[in-house]
Structure 1
Amino acid sequence: MTRIVNTDQAEAWNGYEGQHWAAHADRYDAVNSGFNEPLLTAAGIGARDRILDIGCGNGQLTRLAARRAPEGHALGVDLSAPMLATARARTEAEGLSRVRYVRDDAQTRAFPEGGFDLALSRFGIMFFADPVAAFDNIRRALRPGGRLAFLAMTGLAGTELGEVFAAMARHLPWPTGPDGTGPTSFADPGRTDEVLTAAGFGRIAVREVSADQVWGRDAADAAAFLGDFGPVAHQLRQVGPEVAANARAALTEALRPFTGPEGVRIRSTAWLVTAVHPER
């Protein structure tokens, strides 16, 4: 029997955070879907692949991966009941019978040993309570020779999103915390290599990829959405109304230079990580 060890994350993703992502699934897909093709290409999905999507959220990547494996199947795993409800509804609407989802902690779930050919994640692996234990569990779920491919946030300093967050720095702490923790827990490729090596993976490769993220129709719309984004919303709740209003105003102004006919587009970077479960 499995157990959820990451209770803080489970609480967040079944509370405000998960509810917000589920309610705004299309908007979050607009933010992150530019990274889908690089990740899916790097994964090299075969027609019969058995796919495990870690931190699958609303399930867009799970469904796209399953379509590339017409004779295989895909399992999405996430802590968030609200997001999984959205994932299931969208999967049913798309008529995909080879996709299913479970609410569980990928660090501790008793996956069938060697039951998958490929493990994927689009920004769903940054919050493990024990990353080495989690990736060791994921590795054991893969057959020997099975592949791992995931995206993780880079550090935000020097990026366009970092520039936007910096505009609020006079009013709020940095929303993601210091690099090496929270959303940027794998910002250092050296640490990523260390964790995956300790978990038993080989042929580890890390490269930077970039994509446009669409945050809203205009600066005001994007600022309202970003202000409700979990890490920013958390910091706004820690301050008084006047400070929060000033932070939101600074956020709106920072987004104006990124606004064009197609909305607010911010160029974002991520680490694309691939590895293999060594064949014995």
Structure 2
Amino acid sequence: MTDPGNAAQAEAWDGGTGAFWAEHADRFDAAVAAHHPPFLGAAAITTGETVLDVGCGAGRTSLDAARAAAPGHVTGVDLSTRLLAIARQRAADAGLDTVTFEHADAQVHPFPAGGTDVVVSRHGAMFFADPVAAFANLARALRPGGRMVLLTWQGLEHQEWLRSFLTILAAGRAVAFPPAQGPSPLSLSVPARVDAVLRDAGFTDVEFMARRAPMVFGADPDDALGYVAGQQAGLLADLDPATRDDALAALRADLVAHHDPGGVRYDAATWIVRARRT
């Protein structure tokens, strides 16, 4: 069951977008590795708790939550069947039998009411067509007093990687930065708006913790080039061959400038958002 407003997202994540991220699941985990432990720490999952992971992708957060919550149960939901297949395989390889994965639109999925202690989402809750309805659905899934912890991006001005890649690969065209409203990586970047959405959805005690740490895109420029170019393939698709080659050369030069012993790294910043169901 998918909300009509989320149909385009469902098509993308069960299509080309999902296929790309499934192919590069380990890379994304590595890219955001510096932001992951503080996010899990804020979730403070304890033994016996029931956890719901929204937009679980290839399952890294779900599996970590399962280890912390055992013998409690973790459910991961996502729109991508390819990413869910990886998550299930990762769980099997790790011998974790207290985690399950479901293909579901969290905005409308009929989660058991009041059956969850903790909702978590690592960069997976930014694409809802109706965020108030989606978070209200997640609030219904939580027990009274249950908590939700999100990892989201801060504003565009704090995302060196996003500004750089989109500007370079626009190749002189108008740069289409993601909007701060509507389904977008930056839709949960403005604290005042997020606070209002969550309170309208039935949450209270909303708080934000800022985290700044680099994103890592590869071991070296050549390693990073194919990954970033594939991630932004839509920007390259409409360019003539010569302009495309120039854009890729400019991208590689920028990757070289951001290469240090830690890899190819760009500044990035996230919010850890915590809230409680009323």
| Residue pair 2:50, 2:117 contacting (<8 A) in 1 also | yes
Write the deviation string for residues 114-171 of structure 1: whole angstroms up to 9, x where unpaired.
0100000000011001100000000000000100000111222254314522334443
Runs of 4+ residues deviating >4 angstroms: none
Gaps of 5+ in 1: none
| Residue pair 2:221, 2:259 contacting (<8 A) in 1 also | yes
Distance 2:2 2:161 in 1: 35
- 1:213 — aligned with what? 215
SS in 2 for 1:239: coil
- 2:247 — aligned with what? 247
Please show how residues 106-255 of structure 1 align to structure 2 within 5 Å: 106-165=106-165, 166-174=167-175, 176-181=177-182, 182-229=184-231, 232-255=232-255
| Residue pair 2:158, 2:268 contacting (<8 A) in 1 also | no
Deviation at 1:92, TM superposition (A): 0.4
Distance 1:168 1:251 in 2: 7
| Residue pair 2:139, 2:201 contacting (<8 A) in 1 also | yes
**Structure 2 CA distance for partners of 1:158 and 1:79, relative to 1, 3 Å:** closer
Distance 1:101 1:249 in 2: 41
Deviation at 1:111, TM superposition (A): 0.2
* Aligned residues: CA RMSD: 1.6
Normalised TM-score (structure 2): 0.94
Distance 1:122 1:28 in 2: 11
Normalised TM-score (structure 1): 0.93
Distance 2:218 2:30 in 1: 9
Identity across matched positions, percent: 41
- 2:11 — aligned with what? 11
Deviation at 1:12, TM superposition (A): 0.8
Gaps of 5+ in 2: none
Partner letter of residue 102 of structure 2?
V
- 1:73 — aligned with what? 73
Work out the number of aligned pairs and report it. 275
Which is worse superposed, 143-152 or 173-182?
A: 173-182
